[in-house]
């Protein structure tokens, strides 16, 4: 929120100064002789230009934007298209750094609500220490009573998030500018079902990264010439993986690794569009950063009370003999269940894993399925939660894409 507040304060200061300057100019205009006014029209000084208050107010936003983003000699009327493209690209990098934060001037409508600027989490001193989560004690958190945007209670008109306790009005989300028409309709269709709906906080896995982790990811994108908010085709993903392998391991991908990248592409493109959306690519890479830099205990701390409750219910349903232990085969089966999405044509949540996305024949989910069914090694509740945390997080997005490999 600090990003937006500082921006607003800056705008308010400029507006106050502009009002004082306008008043001063009005006084000069009344006292100055007409020839001086004519000479002022040819000059460059803004304080001597005889403009009407309406024209002055129309010019002030452009002057402020020029002062913030360009040098003193920069003119918006003479800016080449390449400069506009650079500005759009720079704004995309800023939104990537801040999550999905959008500055107020970027909104299409003046009456739209202002989206929040996200504050990235910080690692705590005990972040990697084990977390005590009681198996027998359900948390069952209650949803908030008021809309997270307008803070108004309207009972049945509120749509809850399946991950956190926030609730929203569909009208508020529309005015916020975060959800397109089809996304709003999906929310209305799923928010009150077994499948549920993730709000724009929980849907964005990239917001789980710290400033340091995000900086590391952004540097990789820049080195690999990845343009934020753009779709990627399979060749671009392969090129990105080749470059990353060269940078990290000083060697190219093998043929098997290339096949693995193509399998990842297929999982991120379940609708066979021929490209992957920027958000799906970003979430996939964000999860890779979490797996690389976070311990399992740290990932457990990222789970919400609703997610812990769901994991608890799944574990208890598998622990039929009530001894507090399940097998690793049952654990992998449960981890696959996090990705079960409710089919639009079905009224039951007992759907096939194929509804999530395509799984190639060489993927771990298919090749290791027979072996996983016979793994009878015992697993405690604490181990189950630690090993499942990354899969629970990966199931947060509303997208049907597969953002992580299924356990073998």
Residue pLDDT, tens place only, 309-339:
999 999 999 988 888 899 989 898 888 878 7
pLDDT (average), residues 342-369:
35
Q: What is the pLDDT of residue 314?
A: 92
Confidence label for 104 from pLDDT (cuts 50, 70 and 90): very low
pLDDT (average), residues 276-296:
93
Q: What is the pLDDT of residue 353?
A: 28
Which of 360, 348, 305 lies closest to 131 in space, CA to CA? 305
Q: Are 364 and 406 in contact (CB under 8 A)?
A: yes
Does residue 62 have a pLDDT over 80? no
Out of 16-25, 44-53, 301-310, which region has the weakest mean confidence (pLDDT)? Answer: 44-53
Rounded to whole angstroms, the maximal C-alpha distance in the chain is 99
**What mean pLDDT is reported for the chain?**
74
Among the ranges 5-14, 89-98, 135-144, 337-346, which has the highest mean pLDDT value?
A: 135-144
Q: Helix or strand or coil: residue 148?
A: coil
Which of 123, 121, 119 lies closest to 101 in space, CA to CA? 119
Distance CA 210, CA 216 (A): 10
Q: At 92, list the tokens.
A: 């995309």
H or E stretch covering 326: strand 325-327
Out of 84-98, 304-318, 367-381, which region has the weakest mean confidence (pLDDT)? Answer: 84-98
Distance CA 118, CA 94 (A): 12
Long-range contacts of 83-92 (CB under 8 A, 24+ apart): 89/227, 89/228, 92/227, 92/228, 92/229
Q: What is the pLDDT of residue 340?
A: 66
What global pTM score does this model have?
0.67
pLDDT (average), residues 342-353:
35
pLDDT (average), residues 13-35:
54
Q: What is the pLDDT of residue 18?
A: 61
pLDDT (average), residues 235-253:
85
Which of 108, 401, 89 lies closest to 272 in space, CA to CA? 401
Q: What is the pLDDT of residue 383?
A: 94
Q: What is the pLDDT of residue 99?
A: 53
| Residue 199, φ and ψ in degrees, nearest 5 | -70, 170
pLDDT (average), residues 124-133:
91
For 4, residues 6+ apart whose C-beta sits below 8 A from its C-beta are 101, 103, 104, 114, 116, 117
For 220, residues 6+ apart whose C-beta sits below 8 A from its C-beta are 244, 247, 285
pLDDT (average), residues 233-258:
86
For 126, residues 6+ apart whose C-beta sits below 8 A from its C-beta are none
Residue that wins the pLDDT comparison between 192 and 67: 192
Does residue 77 have a pLDDT over 80? no
Q: What is the pLDDT of residue 10?
A: 55
Distance CA 182, CA 184 (A): 5
pLDDT (average), residues 336-352:
49
Does residue 84 have a pLDDT over 80? no
| Residue 348, φ and ψ in degrees, nearest 5 | -120, 150
End-to-end C-alpha distance for the chain, whole angstroms: 42
């Amino acid at each position: 929120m600090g990003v937006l507040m500082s921006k607003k304060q800056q705008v308010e200061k400029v507006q106050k100064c502009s009002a004082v300057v306008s008043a001063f100019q009005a006084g000069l205009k009344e006292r100055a002789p007409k020839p001086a006014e004519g000479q002022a029209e040819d000059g460059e000084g803004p304080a001597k230009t005889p403009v009407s208050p309406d024209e002055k107010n129309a010019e002030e936003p452009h002057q402020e934007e020029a002062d913030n983003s360009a040098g003193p000699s920069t003119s918006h009327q003479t800016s080449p298209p390449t400069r506009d493209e650079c500005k759009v690209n720079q704004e995309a990098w800023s939104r990537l750094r801040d999550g999905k934060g959008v500055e107020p001037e970027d909104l299409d409508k003046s009456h739209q609500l202002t989206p929040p600027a996200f504050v990235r989490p910080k690692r705590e001193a005990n972040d990697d220490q084990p977390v005590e989560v009681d198996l027998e004690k359900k948390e069952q958190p209650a949803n908030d009573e008021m809309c997270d945007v307008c803070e108004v209670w309207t009972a049945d008109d509120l749509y809850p998030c399946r991950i956190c306790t926030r609730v929203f009005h569909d009208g508020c989300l529309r005015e916020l500018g975060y959800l397109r028409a089809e996304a709003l309709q999906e929310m209305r269709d799923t928010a009150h079902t077994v499948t549920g709906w993730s709000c724009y906080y929980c849907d964005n896995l990239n917001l789980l990264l710290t400033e340091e982790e995000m900086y590391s990811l952004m540097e990789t994108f820049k080195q690999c010439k990845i343009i934020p908010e753009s779709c990627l085709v399979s060749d671009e993903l392969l090129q990105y993986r080749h470059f990353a392998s060269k940078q990290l391991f000083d060697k190219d991908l093998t043929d098997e690794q290339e096949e693995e990248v193509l399998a990842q592409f297929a999982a991120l493109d379940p609708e066979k569009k021929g490209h992957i959306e920027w958000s799906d690519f970003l979430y996939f890479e964000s999860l890779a950063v979490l797996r690389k830099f976070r311990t399992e205990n740290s990932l457990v701390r990222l789970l919400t009370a609703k997610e812990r409750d769901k994991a608890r219910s799944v574990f208890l349903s598998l622990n039929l003999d009530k001894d507090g232990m399940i097998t690793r085969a049952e654990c992998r089966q449960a981890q696959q269940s996090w990705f079960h999405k409710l089919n639009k044509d079905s009224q039951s949540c007992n759907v096939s894993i194929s509804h999530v996305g395509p799984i190639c024949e060489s993927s771990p989910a298919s090749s290791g399925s027979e072996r996983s069914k016979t793994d009878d090694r015992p697993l405690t509740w604490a181990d189950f939660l630690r090993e499942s945390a990354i899969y629970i997080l990966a199931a947060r997005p509303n997208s049907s894409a597969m953002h992580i490999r299924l356990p073998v």
